[in-house]
Every structure is written in C-alpha cells, then in structure tokens.
Amino acid sequence: MRKKNLLFTLLFTLFFSALSVAGAWGEVPAVQKTKDGYVIIDTLGLKKLLDTEPTDIVVVDARNPEEYQEVHIKGAINVPQKKFKKYDHLLPKEKSSRIVFYCNGIKCGKSRKAAKAALKMGYERIFVYAEGMPVWEEKGMPIYAGPDYEKRIETDKLSPEELNTLIQSKANTFTVVDVRDPEEFNKGHIPGAINIPSPTFASQSEVLDKDKQIIVYCNGGGRSYNAYRKLMKLGYKDIRQTLFFDWQEAGLPVEKSEE
C-alpha cells in the first residue's frame, strides 16, 4: 500500500509540473524544460507553433552567417552564437517573447549557449530546437535555400582495399555506416557496418561519435553523398565515402543479417 501511495504521489507531482510548464509557456507539444531554464522542443512541436502562432514566435539561427545564407528555417533570423553580443539587438524588445534557437543538431552546442545568453538578458520564454537544421531539412519542413544550396561538393573517397585494411586493423577509430534501406542492409553489407537509412540519417546520427572517422556507403553513391553532406552540416570533420558496388566487385567479404 505504501509503494502505491508513493507512486501516486510521484505521478501527481509530474502531472502538475507538466501543467505548470504548459501554462507558462503556452500550448507547446513535446516540451522538456531543462535545469538551465530553457525548453527543448522537437520538430513537430516547432512546426505546430509556426503553423498556429507564426507572429508570436521568433526563430533564431545560432549558426554562422555562411551556414545561414546557404539554408535556414523559413522566416528565421540569424544571431550567430559566437558573436551573440554584436547581434543581440536583433532579438525582440519584449522580454516575454517566445524565442526558439537552433543550430546543427543534437551535438551542436551553439543553440544552447545562445539560449543561456538570452536568459541572462532577461528573456523569460526560451526554447531550443535541438534536432536542428539537418533534421528540419530532412523532414521536408519549410526552408529558405540560398544560391549555393545545390552546389556540388567533392567527397573524400576511400577504396575497397583501403577500407578492408582499416577493418582488418580492428582499430577503434572509425565507424562504417550503410545508408541503404534495412532490407538491402540485411541481404548483404560490409562487415561491421551499422545501418542508418538515408531518409532518416540526420535524425539518427546522434549515435555517431564525432571523434571517429565516419565512412558512409550505398550502392552507387547517391544516398551516401547525401549522408556525407548531412554529416558536414552536423559538424563532423573526418568523413569518407565508399561504394558497396566496388566492395563486391573487389571480391571482399559480405555479411548478412537475414536468418
């Protein structure tokens, strides 16, 4: 009976805490208030805010101006976190305004740092869209695309022989990522590879260690090229690309996941 009472008390407290946050911050789905005072909001939550209350929300891109000019959330303003004091006059005058900061995903700290700076300025309702630009873009949400958005990049290629040597070394300094569909992955993949399908690559990329080399591949190069670009936008520095077709042509071993 005592355990039941304790459980009831805990649920009761959590319920009214949630009501308290909702009352203070407005109707915001999927929120999580942090100890630093800002609220984490997800993609659907931000989309709902922009759809229902676009004039009451200020979305702030905390990345550098070059990234902002290439692509940003439609309607967002740019207040670079590294030059926050220089640009903070762009923020609304009303301290009760709802402001959403974002940058390049879960592992990007610029939006959180900017949020803390805004709180110190006296702003009361600060949000962080932690999933950031790569996930927003990946999910087909409204964006502004600059003239360099479609500019082709040159990927750093890795030959099958070089990759095989790396795998045989058993070094813990890299991760091989198959960006094809799960069905393709299960039928045959490079030994030791993990599967993060291209359509949801950015939203699942938090499992990847930024301190390791990330090697992406697909069959012909198209999907792994897109994953490569997403990794660049997410702030990964050491990225390589290879092809499963070349791996097979070289007669190298293929691992299967099917029973």
Among 218, 231, 234, 243, the active-site one is 218
Q: Is 192 left (phi over 0), alpha (psi -120 to 50) or beta?
A: left
pLDDT at 55: 84
Size of the chain in residues: 259
Residue 14 has pLDDT above 90, yes or no: no
CA 253 vs. chain centroid, Å, equals 33
pLDDT at 103: 97
User: What is the average pLDDT across 39-50?
Assistant: 94
Which residues lie below 8 Å from residue 257, measured CB to CB, with a gap of 6+? 185, 186, 189
pLDDT at 25: 52
Q: Which range, 5-19, 46-60, 230-244, is most confident? A: 230-244
Q: Which residue has better confidence, 189 or 54?
A: 189
For CA atoms 43, 49, 55, 56, the dihedral sign is: negative
Domains of the chain, first to last: 27-145 (3.40.250.10), 160-249 (3.40.250.10)
pLDDT at 183: 95
DSSP code of residue 36:
T
pLDDT at 124: 93
User: What is the average pLDDT across 115-131?
Assistant: 97
Residue 117 and residue 99 in contact, taking contact as beta carbons nearer than 8 Å: no
DSSP code of residue 131:
T
Residue 13 has pLDDT above 60, yes or no: no
Residue indicated by tokens 């030994």 = 191
Q: Which residue has better confidence, 126 or 5?
A: 126
Instruction: Kindly report whether the global pTM for this prediction surpasses the value 0.85.
Output: no
- Concerning whether 218 is annotated as a catalytic residue, the answer is yes
Residue 213 has pLDDT above 80, yes or no: yes
Residue 86 and residue 45 in contact, taking contact as beta carbons nearer than 8 Å: no
For CA atoms 73, 76, 78, 79, the dihedral sign is: negative
